[in-house]
Amino acid sequence: MQNEPGSRSSVSFEAHVSRLPQKGMPVRIEATAAQREALAKDHELQSVERYVADLLVTPWKRHGVKVSGSVEADITQACVVTLEPVTTHIDEAVEGLFLPEESKLGRQGFEGGGEILIDADGPDSPETFSGDTIDVGALAEQFFGLGIDPYPRKPGVELELAPDEAEPESEFQRKLKSLLGKS
């Protein structure tokens, strides 16, 4: 995500997690025109035509929170070869686990007093939160950012490399060619 630490997400949505229903709380974030413009600026895109996050915020373990769902967007970027517009559809799964700062597991695991086993192919380790809200919009924006192609290319466009002849011929190469009888 391009936002500076401590800055607020363009699609920020604070979900109150102190009393979540057992089946969870659905959250849908449809970005307004101003929010899409801010997303485009934050992620260095030409434009964001559509941005929708469908999330489910559910209780996890004793006092934790699980956020799952997806973020979909239609974006326009500049081709890295021709600078022409390239449209892309993003469809990313969103998943995050959160523990209150004061939770025993959070304190033990994150302050070095406990041990948390992390599987490189498994889900990320839980993040901590304070208070009774979690910014699920910022989480969705992080996954949106992961779905952006860092080197977009228009279909069929190849990057043309300079021919080998563009390099100046060294003295060694000239002598070798003369020894081999090539001109």
Q: What is the pLDDT of residues 34-47, one digit of tens each?
A: 999 999 999 999 99
Tokens 């929708």: give the residue: 52
Per the CB < 8 A criterion, the answer to whether 35 and 13 are in contact is: no
Distance CA 47, CA 41 (A): 8
Give the CA radius of gyration of the chain.
25
Residue 29 has pLDDT above 70, yes or no: yes
Counting residues of the chain whose pLDDT is more than 90, the rounded percentage is 49
Domain ranges of the chain: 14-180
For residues 14 and 33, give the distance between their C-alpha atoms in angstroms, rounded to a whole number.
20
pTM above 0.85, yes or no: no
**Which residue in 40, 42, 136, 34 sits closest to 88, CA to CA?**
40
pLDDT 10s digits, 62-107: 788 999 999 999 999 999 888 999 999 999 999 999 998 877 665 5
Pick 19 or 181 by higher pLDDT. Answer: 19
**pLDDT (average), residues 12-19:** 88
pLDDT in tens, 118-148: 566 665 678 888 888 899 999 999 999 999 9
d(CA 47, CA 158): 24
Q: pLDDT tens-digit profile of 143-168?
A: 999 999 999 988 887 766 656 555 66
Looking at 5-19, 52-66, 165-179, which range is the least confident one? 165-179
pLDDT at position 4, please?
A: 46
Over 60: is that where the pLDDT of 2 sits? no
**46/39 Cα distance (integer angstroms):** 10
Statement: residue 112 has pLDDT above 60 = no
